[in-house]
Each structure stands twice: as C-alpha cells, then as structure tokens.
A and B are shown apart, each in its own frame.
Chain A
Amino acid sequence: MHFHVADAYLDTGSVLHRLDSRVKVVITVLLILLIGLTPMGAFGAYVGFFALMMIGAVLARVDPWLVVRRSMVALPFAAAAVTLVFTVPGRTLATLPVAGLSISEAGLIRFVSILFKSMISVQAAVLLMLTTHFTDMLWALGALRVPRVLVAIISFMYRYIFVLVDEAMRLSRARDSRSAVLAGQPERGQSVLFRARTTGRMIGNLFLRSLERSERVYQAMLSRGYRGELRQLSPPSLSGQDVLVGLIAVGVGMALTGISLLLR
C-alpha cells in the first residue's frame, strides 16, 4: 500500500513537454516577474498575459480550464488584499451600511488587479508543473546554478515524503487495529485528550524513525564516495529552437509589461 501524490505532471508528449526544462523554468520565473511589474489597472496587459497562458495550455495539449481551475488556489491569498477596497483613498463608489465602510474606485481597481495578477502568475506555475516532470525540474534548477544544497533538500524531500507518509499510514493502521472496545466497557478513545496523546506519540515515533533513516541514508551516501560536495552530471547544450521559444515567450511578456508601463 503506497501513498501517491496525484502528481501534477500530465504526460501528453506535446511540444511544450519536449522543450528544455531549463528554458521552461526561466520563462516561468521571468513571466511571473513581468506580471508582477505590470501596473495596477492595466487590464489590457492582463488579458494579454492570460491569452499567453491559454496559448501555452493549448500547445501543451492540456485542458485550458484545468489550468484556470488549478490557479484558483491563489484566490484565498489574494483575498487578503480585500481591505484595499475600503482603505485606499479615492472616489467613493458606494458606502456599506456597516461601520461606515466605503468602497473606493482606486481601491477596487487595485484589488481586482491583484486578483488577476496572482491568478495569472499561478497559471504560469501550473503550466510548468503540468509539462515538466519533477525530477527534470530539479535537474533544471541544478543546471541553472541554484545552490546545490537547496536542490538536494528539495530532492530528498520529494524522495522521502512518500516513504514518510507510507510510514505514518502504517502507524495509524496499527493504532486502529488495536483500538478495540469490549462490550459494556466505556470507550476510552472518545476523549480528546486521549486521542491527542496517542497522536503525539505517533508523531514523536515518526520523528525518531526519520532521524534514524537520515543516518542510514547518510551512510549510504558516504559508502558511494560522497565527501561533502554534491555533484551533478553537466547539462547538454541548449538547442537554438529551445532558446528561440524562450525568447519569444519572454519577449511577448516584456512587450505587454512595457506598453502598459508607457500607457500609464
């Protein structure tokens, strides 16, 4: 019995899947940066960026609606900006009957802009996840000179999170199979305190197991010649086509942001 994270990766074998993962990571990061730099209320640019994402989804042969749906995770975070509607000074659109709060036009524009910008940024990340296998992403991060230690930490996390969850599931199953009740006896498991204590012990147990595992893994690394420096096979050279795709995508983003900054 294994725990599988519903991996975000969706293999459709499209052109976007075959694109070099370094290029995809760079495009994604730069586009998110450009979206962030686009001024408030530049709705034309937002539509342009959104169209770019949808073109990406079509090229990746994934359902564009899936990309939009997954980007909804940004909504709760963006909603934290809702106070702007009431606090930014500007022309009053309406006054709420409670606490004398008034909705300002400038605040509303700012709030809606943040909402759009965060959703489109997440869409860029979702596209990256859908088209790039996690191990390729790790490799790309290493090839892009992200510090090895950080990449190694993410890599170990990805390798062992499943092992840990499996272990936790086995522990909780072992607990459940011993949680028996005799007829006529009061059920101890009802008490919140009792449950909390059991859970606490399980977490402690899991922590100890992980600690011991980390020692064994480290021994396995030492046995195979690890001496404090992690190495990676060097990346193959980029093809001109990959670079061109990257330049076009980033170029379109720069044009959108640039024009919207000029028109401000």
Chain B
Amino acid sequence: MHHTVEIENLSFQYPDGHQALRNISLHIGPDEKVALVGPNGAGKSTLMLHLNGLLRPSEGEVCVGGLPVTDENLGQIRAWVGLVFQNPDDQLFNPRVFDDVAFGPLHMNLPEEEVRRRSVEALAAVGMENYADRISHHLSIGEKKRIAIATVLSMDPKILVLDEPTAMLDPRSRRSLINLLREMERTMLVATHDMRMVEELFPRTVILDGGQIVADGPTHQILNDEPLLEAHGLEKP
C-alpha cells in the first residue's frame, strides 16, 4: 500500500465552458503534507473534488494509492481519501453528531461493532468524545470543524484532503486545529489562505493560479520569494 496521489496532465472544463484546471501534474508521496494556496477562484476546490472522483478530468489522469480514479475503483478510493468540505454545515448533515461520524464506516459495509468503535475513536482523536449525542446545529463553528474531521477519520483514510480547515475560526480554535493536524501522520493536501499555518505545518507548498500550478517546492523557499507571492495575490506571513 502506498498512500500517494499522482496527477498527470489534468485539465478540467466545467459544463458551462469555464476552464477551471489546465494541465496540472502533481505527485504527493506517502505521509507528505502539502499546502495548496492561491487566490479565490484559482481552482483549489475543483482540484480537490478530483481526488475522490466527484469530478472527472476532461483530460489527463488521477491516481490515488496507485489506483486510477475510475468507476470500478470509486468505492475503494473514497475509503482512502478523506475529503472535508470547507463549510461544516455541508459536511455534517445528520442531526446528531455520532450519526455523522458513523455515516462513513456504516456505508463502507463494516460490521456494526467496528462502526461504533471507529466512531468513538475518531471523536476521541479530535477531542470531542463528549459530543456524541449533541445536535450539530447547537455547536460552535470550531467544534463543528473538529467533528467534520472526525467524520472522515472514522473511515481511516490514507489521505486527508481538507478545504480551508482554519477559515472562520477564532485564534484559539485555530490553534487547537493546527495542533491536531500536526499530530496526524497521514498524507495530507490542505487548501488554505492561512499562510502562517502553511509556514508552521507544511514542508511543501503548491501555488495554484488561474487553474495552473505556478510554483511547487519547499515552503520556506516559496514563502521567501516575495515577487512570486505578490504576482499571485499572496502575502508573506
């Protein structure tokens, strides 16, 4: 098993003709943590939706864990890739927290004991073990973001794909979320505008702009290239 992401010459055009991604090639190795940055509308979310087959390339190929993203592999790939959406109100669609965390493993046809065990463990992993019977609507956004991550941890994914995990969080919730991500040893691709988190957490950074990868390298190198950052609407932390 190798928890890799291999994207070759991926291009994607929305049905309305908008060219969202152009000729993207990206390789992410096992347990590598990569930050995906770029201005709004650069195509970050579109790229992420390709990683578990929610969107399919117009051209090129996406492989996850060595398997190409095709209809036959879809179930396996969705079990490997834990995709967490930006807005926890989209991610948490059950009234009760526990049911949301159990949704993934339950739909993977795992035995019920295993589903319960994994759900309890996933909630504990994000420090929310006392929230199992709470109603999602009554929670703060910081709590919801943590639980949103638990909803994919319960599936024991090999690759975590997070869309703006620290957006809309107050400093304390942001800090606790960063600590949580730091402790997780998994292949990770995280789209964010939080450049201070990028500097702190991710050894490698990819800049996406206008649907193209314009830079890909060690974070310290990219964050010190001020002309590059400025050209793509980014700021040095």
Contact = CB atoms under 8 A, between A and B. Distances in A.
B96 to A, nearest CB: 4
Q: Output the residue of A216, A219, A223 with the most chain B CB within 10 A.
A: A223
A135 interface: yes
Interface stretch (A100-108, A154-162, A183-191, A243-251): A154-162
B66 interface: no
Interface in A95-144: 134-135, 138
Interface stretch (B108-116, B181-189, B225-233): B108-116
Nearest to B119: A233
Contacts of A159: 92-95, 136-137
B95 A158 contact: yes
B104 A225 contact: yes
A133 to B, nearest CB: 8
A233 B102 contact: yes
B175 interface: no
Contacts of A163: 89, 137
A2 B137 contact: yes
Contacts of A221: 93, 103
User: Size range of the interface on B?
Assistant: 35 or more
Interface stretch (B9-17, B56-64, B78-86): B78-86
B95 A135 contact: yes
Given A216-B85, A224-B104, A233-B102, A135 B96 contact: yes
Contacts of B75: 225, 227
Contact of B108 (A135, A158, A222, A225): A225
A227 B90 contact: no
B3 to A, nearest CB: 17
Contact of A138 (B95, B112, B138): B95
Contact of A220 (B90, B107, B133, B155): B90
B135 interface: yes
Contacts of B168: none
A213 B78 CA distance: 21
Nearest to A159: B95
Contacts of B95: 134-135, 138, 155, 158-159
Contacts of B52: 223
B214 interface: no
A135 B87 CA distance: 22
A176 to B, nearest CB: 23
B18 to A, nearest CB: 16
B90 A223 contact: no
A169 interface: no
Contacts of A219: 49, 54, 85, 90
Nearest to A162: B137
B159 to A, nearest CB: 12
A232 B138 CA distance: 23
A220 B137 contact: no
B20 interface: no
A231 B108 CA distance: 10
B192 interface: no
A86 to B, nearest CB: 47
B104 A213 contact: no
6 contacts: A216-B85, A221-B93, A224-B78, A225-B155, A227-B107, A233-B116
| Complex A-B, nearest 4 residue pairs according to Cβ-Cβ distance, in ascending order | A225-B107, A224-B104, A216-B90, A135-B96
